[in-house]
Chains A and B, each alone.
Chain A
Amino acid sequence: MDTDQLIRSLAADNAHRAPRVGTVLTMALLVAAPLSILIFATFLGVRSDVMSAMHNPFFDMKFAVTLSLAIPAIIVSLHLSRPEALLRGWGWLLLLPVGLLAVAIGGEAMMAPTMPMSMRLMGKNSRVCLLAIPAMSLPLLAGALFGLRHGAPSHPALAGALAGLVSAGLAATLYASHCTDDSPLFVATWYTLATALVAAVGALAGSKVLRY
């Protein structure tokens, strides 16, 4: 087929309209979310003292941190689904959860310690945290990658890592309601490790499936 002929067939297909990447990503995440919630409901569940925990600002802070990861990661991943887009000017959005955690750690340090620092950092759930967040992330990661495949990222591994951050942020939001470790030191350590793991898997998968 010569190029003029190819162009003729492309022009004939001009009426075809694809949905926006944001629409496809939203739908894919909505389809994946019930699977992650099922894992949560089957193996974890909301902690029993949730009513009193809600009065603890460090419990609430966990959700602020996880959502400040998930939402900016969605925004940045959509931005990067355009081929000419650069991370420059947008990357700082991903520092939001880091800033929030730093403030929370500072706040906790100024209060009279209820537990020694090492106990707050190690907590009781570090192993569950490292397992549960990646496990609940997997369906969401698959959904995020499916959605971003609809885009045209120039850096598939980076876009995949962002899909990892989206899914880890959402999974960590679920997990935060189960976990009884509320210290920002615990969150900064174990949530971050779990998130980094998911981002690495996302980058690896993205470099394969997000090429267009």
Chain B
Amino acid sequence: MRGREDEWTGLMRSAMAGDDAAYHRLLKAVTPVLRAAARRGLARAGQPPDQAEDIVQEILLAVHLKRHTWDSEAPFAPWLFAIARNKLIDALRRRGRRVFVNIDDFAETLPGETPQETASAGEVTAQLNTLPQRQRDVLQSIAVDSASIKDTAAKYSMSEGAVRVALHRGLAALTAKLRDD
């Protein structure tokens, strides 16, 4: 466990220093842990586990948009689990349950737990369609079509800067919509 968490902290430090690949690896590495915890939380609240992926995606968006509140001198896992816990509580509350989530739900994930295949989630996809055209196009191009920022800029005759702005605004708008709905 220690080793895994130290690795996360190292990846996050590299990510904050501008290493996009390290950031990608970190998000991929934490996702199975978040998914397992979301399933446990849903199960305890008597909710079907098929909503776990919505919660995982909400956690990932919050991690992304709030990563400036992480202190790079501090370990990454407690920060991550605090965000995940808040998001899980919010999600369960929105589904009409008052549940107390134990932070150990996240910390105690067995290292041997099989990482699941990536799964689709309904909420982000639904909110994606309510975004302004440009933000939706850019998000679709980068997320779904795996195009680079550069290729996306060429495809929509935008500057790379404009693509970056639309991407960030799109992600922030998605997060706000998920929170307020």
- A-to-B contact residues, CB < 8 Å: 1-21, 81-84, 151-152, 154, 211-212
Contacts and interface: CB of A to CB of B under 8 A. Distances in A.
Interface in B54-88: 56-57, 60-62, 64-71, 74, 78-79, 81-83, 85-86
B33 interface: no
Contact of B82 (A3, A10, A154, A211): A154
Chief secondary structure at chain A's binding surface: loop
B14 to A, nearest CB: 10
A15 B71 CA distance: 18
B124 interface: yes
A1 B79 contact: no
Nearest to A12: B142
Interface string B126-155: 001000000000010011101011000000
B118 interface: yes
A210 B151 CA distance: 37
Which of A4, A5, A12 gathers most chain B CB within 10 Å? A12
Contacts of A11: 20-21, 23-24, 27
A84 B79 contact: yes
Contacts, number: 119
Contacts of A13: 64, 164, 167-168, 171
7 contacts: A3-B57, A7-B24, A8-B143, A18-B68, A83-B86, A84-B78, A152-B69
Contact of B143 (A9, A82, A151): A9
Interface residues of B, number: 52
A21 B171 contact: no
Contacts of B70: 82
Contact of B20 (A15, A151, A211): A15
Given A8-B142, A9-B171, A154-B86, A2 B119 contact: yes
Contact of A16 (B119, B148, B164): B164
A151 B83 CA distance: 11
A83 B57 contact: no
Contacts of A154: 82, 85-86
B66 A19 contact: no
A1 B60 CA distance: 13
B22 to A, nearest CB: 9
A11 B23 CA distance: 6
Contacts of A83: 66, 69, 79, 82-83, 86
B60 A21 contact: no
Nearest 5 CB-CB pairs, A to B? A83-B82, A11-B24, A84-B82, A5-B143, A4-B118
A5 B144 contact: yes
A201 to B, nearest CB: 21
Interface string B3-27: 0000000000001001111011001
Contacts of B125: 1
B31 to A, nearest CB: 6
A155 to B, nearest CB: 9
Contacts of B168: 13, 16
Contacts of B21: 11
B24 A152 contact: no
B124 A9 contact: no
A6 B78 CA distance: 23
A3 B143 CA distance: 9
